[in-house]
Amino acid sequence: MQHFFIQSQIPELYELTSFFMNLVTVARVQRNPTIKEEIKQKGFDQSLPVGFLCYPISQAADILAFGADVVPVGADQNPMIEQANEIARRFNSIYGTNTFKEVKSIVGSIGRLPGIDGKAKMSKSLNNAIFLNDSTDAIRRKVNLMFTDPNHIKIEDPGTVEGNVVFQFLDFFDPDKVALEELRARYQRGGLGDGQLKKRLVEILDSLISPMRQRRQQYESNIPLVMATLREGTLDARAKVAKKVSEVRTALKLNY
């Protein structure tokens, strides 16, 4: 059974995070590749918020509190899973328990999507993402902004596919790989415009996203159902987390 819940409505997760914070050094969190990259992206430098630095620990609490076996992640989130497993091992070792079990990450065939601006990661905060509720026009507008080959000025000019964001997306999503290879060869020798490639990508992405967009609209038209589902899921999740936190308090000799 699937449950959706609101994390901020489960205070036990914050309590578990505070316990975990005593098991991890600042130096270890700073070595986390994902955190290092995001600190660089956000330009935090010396203005780094403590809450952001502790994010991997909070994420570990989100994972370990539910006794998860596997967690679906993007390739860039694997260091977070490693950190969660380190915390699980350290807690169990120090307190002589088997309170937490380690988890495995599942990375899809697409480890992560590049941004439409060609940056390494598609991200809402970087404003370089295509959203699952984007309209056809919005998808077209964003695809038209995608980086291709700046030297491919005329249709007859040979084009480069390396670093070409449109081809990266077509590699991910175009179901007709034979036709795609023909387009790739044609583009490289000249005779295929960027506009044709982008039109093909728009059609493919819109076909993929359209059913999700329609399903979202159905739920948007029934907000009471959405809220009821969230309330039910949150109550169930909080009960599970409270049980795990009680085990942690017992191990810490804090269950008075």
- Structural domain contains residue 131: no
Find the CATH number of the domain harbouring 173.
Answer: 1.10.240.10
Give Cα separations from 46 to 24, 36, 43 (angstroms).
Answer: 21, 13, 9
At 102-114, the pLDDT tens digits run: 999 998 877 778 8
Domain total of the chain: 2
- If asked whether residues 39 and 79 sit together in one domain, one would say yes
Range with the poorest average pLDDT among 49-58, 118-127, 148-157, 195-204: 118-127
The parent domain of residue 190 ranges over: 136-219
Query: If we measure between CA atoms, which residue out of 2, 22, 5, 84 comes closest to residue 252?
Result: 22
Rounded Cα distance between 103 and 66, Å, is 11
Summarize the confidence of residues 246-252 as an average pLDDT.
96
Q: Would the pTM count as exceeding 0.85? A: no
| CB of 251 closer than 8 Å to CB of 90 | no
Report residue 42's pLDDT band, with 50, 70 and 90 as the boundaries: confident
Most confident of the ranges 34-43, 48-57, 77-86, 144-153: 77-86
Residues 197 and 142 placed together within one structural domain of the fold:
yes
The DSSP H or E segment spanning 71 is strand 70-73
Q: How far lies 200's CA from each of 11, 22, 48, 144, 215, in Å? A: 47, 52, 42, 11, 24
Query: Average pLDDT, stretch 64-81?
Result: 91
**What's the whole-number mean pLDDT along residues 39-51?**
80
Q: Which residues contact 222 (CB under 8 A, 6 or more apart)?
A: none
